[in-house]
């Protein structure tokens, strides 16, 4: 009996050796094309073909800059669909890639500048319960914000601000999602840096007092993509009298809306100011308002004209072109920016050519470039900007 079993085992080993050891490895791809990179239209669609990890499932993953999708659109007032914004932004970035990311205008490649950039996937928020979704956004964003960084020395060289805990924290570029996501984002960011200033690019002020906002029929309905800045002001997430809107052109219920806006800590640049005063005036007004403290740049894609970006939930005519907006963004290099977001991209309303998604993805590239160029050293100490009246 024993000898029969031994014989069978020997025969099995011989067959295995014949199958695995004596046959030549068949791998024509690596024989002829090893190392061929994905092209703009191939590969898994991460932002700009960056490495991608679901960071929420791997809390020890280190990076300096994270792209984080927030697919939430349960608090919009007109056209829904921004839950597909993170997908659209990644799709619109397919012609970007780290090895061809150099900007001749800004003289930097943000993908290879020394800060490690990672696509961290999405926060999987529920579409059925906005109150829970907002909690999920804060939890997900806060977790990513507390991941370890890779290059502390580079962040120090770039004069990036540490948190109140004395530690460096990653910079996050949130890919929305409707604008409501900025409320939990400001909540998480202010816990790390204290109250922050906001540079808000938008056609709408989003500081509407929910006591006067149409559709605010409950406490939950009071929190939406038009009122979130008011709530952020009431909760102390925003530094007083230090924030500014740019590109505003919507209609108001009356002067009381503008009074509430001032109460919430904002000044205002109208979209037509670019014709009357130009890009440099807008840039100087923003810098004079913000100063050298930590600032969040929040960009609603409807700041651009719907002829440029049709894919948004609340379009308003008379907006800026993508070129004008990018020139303004470039002028903000050196500010002490601790967080960015791009919101309200609703790809269902885009063209077949994805013109909205491509424009929005280019704004993200500019955000990355701003981070790669660092903070003006004077901005972390003391810097004097001209007031608008002095220009």
Q: So what's the pLDDT on residue 43?
A: 83
pLDDT at 4 over 70: no
Taking the model in full, what pTM does it have?
0.90
Q: For 261-293, how does the pLDDT look when each residue is reduced to its tens digit (9 = 90+)?
A: 999 999 999 999 999 999 999 999 999 999 999
pLDDT at 2 over 50: no
- pLDDT score of 311 more than 90: yes
Question: What does the pLDDT look like over 341-380, one tens digit per residue?
Answer: 999 999 999 999 999 999 999 999 999 999 999 999 765 4
Q: Do residues 236 and 195 touch, judged by C-beta distance below 8 A?
A: yes
Asked whether the predicted pLDDT for residue 113 surpasses 80, the reply is yes
Neighbour count for residue 342 (Cβ, 10 Å): 24
Q: Are 308 and 322 in contact (CB under 8 A)?
A: yes
Tens of pLDDT, residue by residue over 9-19, are 455 555 555 45
Provide the edge-to-edge strand list for the sheet that holds 295-300.
117-122, 65-70, 171-176, 337-343, 295-300, 197-201, 243-248, 266-270
User: Residue 42: pLDDT above 90?
Assistant: no
CATH architecture of the domain with range 48-390: 3-Layer(aba) Sandwich (3.40)
**pLDDT tens digit string along 228-241?**
999 999 999 999 99
Structure tokens at 300: 């609603």
Cα separation, 197 vs 174, in Å, equals 17
Kindly list the domain boundaries of the chain, sorted by start residue.
48-390
pLDDT of residue 382 exceeding 50, the answer is no
Alpha-carbon radius of gyration of the chain: 24
Report angle CA 339, 367, 178 to the nearest 5 degrees: 60
Question: What percent of the chain is predicted at pLDDT more than 70?
Answer: 91
């Amino acid at each position: 009996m024993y000898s029969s079993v031994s014989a069978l085992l020997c025969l099995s080993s011989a067959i295995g050796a014949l199958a695995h050891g004596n046959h030549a490895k068949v791998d024509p791809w690596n024989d002829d094309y090893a190392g061929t990179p994905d092209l703009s239209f191939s590969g898994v669609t991460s932002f700009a073909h960056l490495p991608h990890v679901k960071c929420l499932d791997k809390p020890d993953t280190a990076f300096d800059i994270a792209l984080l999708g927030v697919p939430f659109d349960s608090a919009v007032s007109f056209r829904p669909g921004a839950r597909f914004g993170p997908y659209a932004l990644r799709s619109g970035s397919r012609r970007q890639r780290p090895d061809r990311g150099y900007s001749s205008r800004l003289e930097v490649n943000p993908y290879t500048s020394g800060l490690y950039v990672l696509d961290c996937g999405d926060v999987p928020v529920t579409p059925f319960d906005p109150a829970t979704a907002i909690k999920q956004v804060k939890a997900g964003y806060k977790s990513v914000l507390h991941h370890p960084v890779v290059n502390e020395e580079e962040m120090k060289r770039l004069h990036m601000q540490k948190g109140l805990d004395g530690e460096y924290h990653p910079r996050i570029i949130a890919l929305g999602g409707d604008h409501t996501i900025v409320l939990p984002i400001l909540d998480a960011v202010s816990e790390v840096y204290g109250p922050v200033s906001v540079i808000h690019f938008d056609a709408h002020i989003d500081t509407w007092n929910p006591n006067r906002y149409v559709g605010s029929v409950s406490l939950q309905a009071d929190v939406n993509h038009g009122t979130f800045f008011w709530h952020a002001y009431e909760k102390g997430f925003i530094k007083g009298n230090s924030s500014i809107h740019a590109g505003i052109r919507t209609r108001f219920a009356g002067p009381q809306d503008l009074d509430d806006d001032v109460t919430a800590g904002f000044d205002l640049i109208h979209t037509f100011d670019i014709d009357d005063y130009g890009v440099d005036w807008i840039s100087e007004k923003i810098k004079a308002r913000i100063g050298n403290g930590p600032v969040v740049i929040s960009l609603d894609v409807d700041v651009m004209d719907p002829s440029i970006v049709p894919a948004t939930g609340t379009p308003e005519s008379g907006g800026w072109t993508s070129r004008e907006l990018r020139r303004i963004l470039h002028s903000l290099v050196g500010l002490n920016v601790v967080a960015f977001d791009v919101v309200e991209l609703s790809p269902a309303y885009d063209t077949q050519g994805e013109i909205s998604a491509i424009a929005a993805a280019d704004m993200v590239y500019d955000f990355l470039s701003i981070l790669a160029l660092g903070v003006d050293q004077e901005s972390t100490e003391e810097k004097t900007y001209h007031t608008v009246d002095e220009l």
